[in-house]
Amino acid sequence: MAIEVNLCGVRLRNPIIPASGTFGFGLEMKDVYDLNLLGGISLKGTTREARFGNECPRIAECPDGMINSVGLQNPGIEVFVNEKLPALRKIYSGAIIANISGFSEDEYRECCEKAAQAPEVDILEVNISCPNVHGGGLAFGTSAKAAAGITRIAREVSSKPVFIKLSPNVTDIVEIARACEDAGADGLTLINTLLGMRIDIVRRRPVVANRYGGFSGRAVFPIALRMVNQVARACKVPLMGCGGVATAEDVVEMMMAGATAVQVGAENLRDPYACKRIIEDLPGVMSRLGIKDINEIIGIV
Amino acid sequence: MKQVYLTVKSNEPIAAGTWKMVLEGDTSAVTGSGQFVNIALPGLFLRRPISVCDLSEGLLTLVYKVVGKGTDAMSAMAPGTRLDILTGLGNGFDASACESSALLLGGGVGTAPLVLLTRELRSRGKSVTVLLGFNRAGEEMLAAELEALGARVEIATLDGSKGTRGFVTDILHQKADGPDAIRYDYFYACGPMPMLKAVCGAIDAPGEMSLEERMGCGFGICYGCSCHTVNGPRRVCADGPVFKKEDLIWQSK
Ligand SMILES: Cc1cc2nc3c(=O)[nH]c(=O)nc-3n(C[C@H](O)[C@H](O)[C@H](O)COP(=O)(O)OP(=O)(O)OC[C@H]3O[C@@H](n4cnc5c(N)ncnc54)[C@H](O)[C@@H]3O)c2cc1C
Ligand SMILES: Cc1cc2nc3c(=O)[nH]c(=O)nc-3n(C[C@H](O)[C@H](O)[C@H](O)COP(=O)(O)O)c2cc1C
Ligand code: FES
């Protein structure tokens, strides 16, 4: 059974990748299971300066999902490049995906350049869709022009494949996807979280201190699948499909919709072994469905 | 961290709205007091973090207050129910930090982790005084267990219906001197944030406290539970939940 896939020349031993922000810097998981069974790891979103993120509470439970308003807590690009990446590479030989965020074009340029120069990084994932920070992230992801601008900058400074991570909080995701592709993106990751809210009806206030946060988890799977399919039908570049994936069947569905690799996010939080379980289940699901090579189903629907 | 299936051995109310659940199975990952477990419940997306109340001979005791969907579902669980639980989470209390006399302060269900802590301190030959604070009579819990372990226990209620009227810090003021004065060289606290702040303000001795925060994962990968410390941001679930008084930022402010 063939489960290896290829993302812009980067070979993944299987299509399963923990999504950014749901697997720390990989190191946090080193004693839970052997990371080397993963196709790739998308690391926690990184910015130029160290950030605490938003104040707590920054987690709210939802039916079949959750809201997070972490707000890009990270130690900054220098610590990321000098400490986190080398430490992870020591214990992990698969694809390392650096997830980069910023508050200005200059910040994106500097962080993308530093991450792309790091020998440990295989793929750059540029997050223009974080709903949890003001004046950054999402502001670049909701306008085709701004998205194309960031894509050009990342492409200019990076010798590694550049994936742009798209927001679902837009009227027409295809328009943004096309703009990124035209600006030189090597691939696209979608979707980031949907802007959501919960209210504590006893205390009469929002559950998360930042009022709104990013909604993700099983409940968003149909939306993510639809968006991946729309973008797959409109663009030629490979896609990393993300949103609500919890089982090997979901992986197959996401790939049939058009994804070449599949990211697993919130499910890692409820089940620390989620990615391991999905990878172990995948061959059985494939043989049940008569799939010999996982590549044969990419975008067939 | 270890994922295990534990079986409910007993599950009974012990105080107003508060239940004690004893679980049986592989508790090998639990190394001490102040740690917690994270329980998966059918139909709920996130696990529920609950402190280790006591541990002995392969039995894990939890004490929980019914406050919402998850704890309500737990209270209806019959013996024999199997639960998917992440065990051995968090750093736990440092029983070796106390020289000879420990002061333990619990607010509401924050009393729970003080049982195993008292057991650890007593086995190290320390004297233990436990001050417990509740809203009203009927909510008090675990006093008999703590006394049986050799602790002196004092209770305060906000409305004065049991013990001292007021907060745990009011017991401290009342018993500052005299023959029954409370003496200690180190404190341990667990309870709601306002109580922890008040405790830090009222006590000069060094000490540590267990924090509570909404959690995404409970094992350190989502950065959903961070707090401010003098050493930078720290995750309550994986770097805590127990922090030294002097490390917390609101303390040094
Ligand atoms: C480290 C730690 C140890 C704890 N130990 C105990 C204990 O020993 N006994 C006990 O009764 N309670 C304890 N709590 C609080 C307990 O986790 C919550 O009361 C419980 O999660 C509420 O779940 P629910 O479904 O009944 O409430 P809901 O309000 O329906 O829960 C909704 C969401 O909010 C979260 N949540 C609600 N209240 C809290 C809270 N106070 N702290 C953290 N998350 C919360 C839930 O986990 C869930 O994700 C502890 C919390 C932490 C962080
Ligand atoms: C706690 C948490 C933190 C996240 N942090 C980031 C981040 O730093 N950068 C990013 O691009 N996406 C981040 N995301 C979004 C996920 O990578 C993913 O796109 C989204 O959660 C949808 O997938 P899911 O439904 O499987 O969770 C985060 C998600 C969660 C739940
Ligand atoms: S709850 Fe996920 S890091 Fe603490």
Query: Could you tell me if B220 and B193 lie in one domain?
Result: no
Nearest CA in chain A to B49: A270
* A209, part of any domain: no
Q: How far is A241 from chain B (nearest CA, A)?
A: 20
* Ligand closest to CA A53: 2
* 3-state class (DSSP) for residue B159: coil
Is A64 a member of any domain?
Answer: no
Name the closest ligand to CA A228. 2
pLDDT band of B252, cuts 50, 70, 90:
very low
Are the C-beta atoms of residues B235 and B226 closer than 8 Å to each other?
yes
Domain of B132, CATH number, reads 3.40.50.80
Do B200 and B217 belong together in one domain?
A: no
**Which residue, among A23, A74, A130, A270, would best test binding to B if mutated, counting the most B CBs under 10 Å from its CB?**
A270
What sign for the dihedral angle of Cα A73, A189, A130, A273?
Answer: negative
Which are the catalytic amino acids of A?
130
Question: Measuring CA to CA, which residue among B71, B70, B79 is closest to residue B11?
Answer: B79
Please answer whether residues B86 and B47 qualify as being in contact, where contact means their C-beta atoms are separated by less than 8 angstroms: yes
What is the predicted pLDDT for the residue at A135?
58
User: How many CB pairs lie under 8 A apart between chains A and B?
Assistant: 89
Asked if B226 lies within 8 A of A61 by C-beta distance, the reply is no
End-of-domain residue from the set B69, B89, B109: B89
Same-domain status, B219 and B188: no
The domain of B47 spans 2-89
Residue B2: alpha-carbon gap to chain centroid: 20
Q: Tell me: do B67 and B6 sit in the same domain.
A: yes
Q: Would you say residue B129 has pLDDT above 90?
A: yes
Q: Quick one: B126 and B37 in the same domain? A: no
How much is the pLDDT for B178? 86
A77 or B250: which leads in pLDDT? A77
Count structural domains, chain A: 1
B48 and B39 in contact (C-beta within 8 Å)?
yes
Looking at CA atoms only, how far is residue B229 from chain A in angstroms?
A: 11
Structure confidence at residue B253 as a pLDDT band (50, 70, 90): very low
Residue B58, pLDDT score: 86
Judge if B127 and B197 occupy the same domain: yes
Confidence at residue A134, expressed as pLDDT on a 0 to 100 scale: 64
By CB neighbour count within 10 A (0-12 exposed, 13-18 middle, 19+ buried), where does A202 fall?
A: exposed
Residue nearest to atom 9 of ligand 2 (CA): A45
The residues near B162 (Cβ < 8 Å, ≥ 6 apart) are B134, B136, B137, B140, B155
What is the token pair recorded at B246?
Answer: 């002097």
Whether residue A136 is predicted with pLDDT greater than 60 in this model: the reply is: no
d(CA A176, CA A196): 21
Q: Tell me if the bond preceding A57 is cis, omega within 30° of 0.
A: yes
Q: What percent of chain A has pLDDT over 70?
A: 98
Indicate if B57 and B43 belong to the same structural domain: yes
Phi and psi torsions of B194, nearest 5°: -60, -35
Residue A206 lies in a domain: no
**Whether residue B105 is found in the same domain as residue B152:** yes
CATH number of the domain that residue B226 is part of: 2.10.240.10
Centroid of ligand 2 to alpha carbon of A7 (angstroms): 20
Q: Where are the alpha helices (DSSP H) in chain B?
A: 69-75, 114-123, 143-148, 168-174, 193-202, 249-252
B222 interaction partners in chain A (CB closer than 8 Å): 21-22, 24, 59, 68, 70, 269
A174-225: pLDDT as tens digits: 999 999 999 999 999 999 999 999 999 999 999 999 999 999 999 999 999 9
Q: Please tell me the distance between residue A59's alpha carbon and the centre of ligand 3 in angstroms.
A: 9
- Write out residues with Cβ below 6 Å of ligand 3: B 215-218, 220-225, 235, 237-238
**Last-in-domain residue among B35, B66, B89:** B89
Q: What is the CATH number of the domain that holds B32?
A: 2.40.30.10
CATH number, domain containing residue A245? 3.20.20.70
Give me the domain span that covers residue A181.
5-56+73-194+217-297
Q: Are B114 and B121 in contact (CB under 8 A)?
A: no
- Percentage of chain B beyond pLDDT 70 is 99
pLDDT in tens, B169-191: 999 998 888 888 999 999 999 99
Does the residue A170 lie in any domain?
A: yes
> Residue A147: its pLDDT value, please?
95
Of ligand 1's listed atoms, the one at least distance from the Cα of B41 is 25
- pTM recorded for the entire structure: 0.96
Total of domains in chain B: 3
Taking only the tens place, the pLDDT of each residue in A213-253 is 999 999 999 999 999 999 999 999 999 999 999 999 999 99
Q: Is the pLDDT of residue A15 over 50?
A: yes
- Averaged confidence pLDDT in chain A: 96
Residue B57 confidence (pLDDT): 83
Centre a 10 Å sphere on the Cβ of residue B140 and count the other Cβ atoms it contains: 25
